[in-house]
Amino acid sequence: MVSERVARLRIELQELEPTIWRRLDMPLSATLEALHEAIQMTMGWTFSHLWEFEVDGRSYGDPSFQVFDDEPVIYKAKGLRLDTAIARGADRFVYVYDYGDNWHHDVIVEEVRDGEPDLEYPAFVGGARRCPPEDVGGPDGFMDFLEAVLDPAHEEHRAMLDWYGGLFDPVGFDEARACFGMENMARRRRGPLASHRSGSRRPKR
């Protein structure tokens, strides 16, 4: 089995201590749109809000997000591959999720290497700490939420538990979901990738 080139990426949420982070191995052929999907599944977000990448002074996402002509141009995230971004010198860029809560993630390229021939990519490598709940109010709102849910004597303790829907463990995160998400992405790539490597083409109709 032929190996493919992969980038090891570390994803970190800004403005929070201790750091909430994930580490992924992404194929260099992956687009930023695929990386968006990978970040959503491994961080624990729910694909519920608008998003974009900020790479080398440009915004990449879904151009349909752009409502007004005087807004900065949003380029197609599915039109920029990781290998192209990295070749242009983007060894660190930003992923923004939810324009209301405004979650900024640092995407750090730790290394580029040949992948393992017997592994399928993308792949989940590791991480730490649970990501914030959706619509919690950004970094400040999340810190207020943590203070309330972790202190039974806090006046908003019960209200925050009811809002969240149960107990919140800031340390543990759903690693099984992260692994499953990456395995599912790898399975979806398997057919097209095998066809590309074998040089096969669909017959013309």
- Residues 125 and 136 reside in one and the same domain: no
| Statement to judge: residues 125 and 78 lie in one domain | yes
| Domain co-membership, 122 together with 37 | yes
Q: Are residues 84 and 155 in the same domain?
A: no
Same domain, 92 and 31: yes
Do 26 and 121 lie in a common domain?
yes
Both 88 and 150 in a single domain? no
Residue by residue, pLDDT tens for the chain (205 residues) are 567 999 999 999 999 999 999 999 999 999 999 999 999 999 999 999 999 999 999 999 999 887 777 778 999 999 999 999 999 999 999 999 999 999 999 999 999 999 999 999 999 999 999 999 999 999 999 999 999 999 999 999 999 999 999 999 999 999 999 999 999 999 998 865 544 444 444 333 3
Q: How many domains are there within the chain?
A: 2
Q: Are residues 126 and 137 in the same domain?
A: no
Give the domain extent around 154.
Answer: 132-171
pTM comes to 0.90
Contact 47, 55 (CB under 8 A): no
| CA dist., res. 78 & res. 64, Å (int) | 13
Asked whether residue 65 is assigned to any structural domain, the reply reads: yes
CATH number assigned to the domain comprising residue 12? 3.10.290.30
Peptide bond into 72 cis (omega under 30): no
Whether 189 is in a domain gets the answer yes
